[in-house]
Amino acid sequence: MGEGGCQCGAIRFQNASTEGALYVCHCKECQKQSASAFGISLVIDAAALTVTKGEPQVWTRNADSGRQVRCYFCPTCGSRLWHEPAEDPVTVRIKGGALDEPPDLSKAIHIWTDRRLAGVVLPEGVQTFPGEPP
């Protein structure tokens, strides 16, 4: 369970889930979206996410996997909040930076590692996938 929101505070949400897979994604889209080396996503059931303040905007893009992704963000500050698959939004992927309590990345699953930036060192023993996991 946790809370989160955008950088300016216009959007707030609650995550009622106590479980979820944590991914560090090294794809080019996550690099662009985060303006950093990778993106962080906590995958939870969509029903566990509740917007408690504000109204996020959404736009749809094609993912490296070829599927479409709906991306939710704050219309005031532009902070990315979560993503969901357009075809079957049963789960959402909360962006790590939108969470009030930062996630522990020590056991995160690293995906699209074949696109990671030079110099990014992956922790020993973590689960990795060169592309999209099966």
pLDDT, tens only, 78-104 = 999 999 988 888 999 999 999 999 899
pLDDT, tens only, 97-133 = 999 998 999 989 999 999 999 999 999 999 999 998 8
> What is the per-residue burial (b if ≥16 Cβ within 10 Å, else e) of 40-75?
bbbbbeeebbeeeebebeeeeeebbeeeebbbbbbe
Confidence of residue 1 (pLDDT cuts 50, 70, 90): low
pLDDT cut 90: percent of the chain above it: 74
Q: Model's pTM, two decimal places?
A: 0.88
Tell me the mean pLDDT in the region 34-51: 94
Integer angstrom CA distances of residue 54 from 6, 10, 119: 10, 6, 39
Q: Nearest 5°: phi and psi at 97?
A: -70, -15
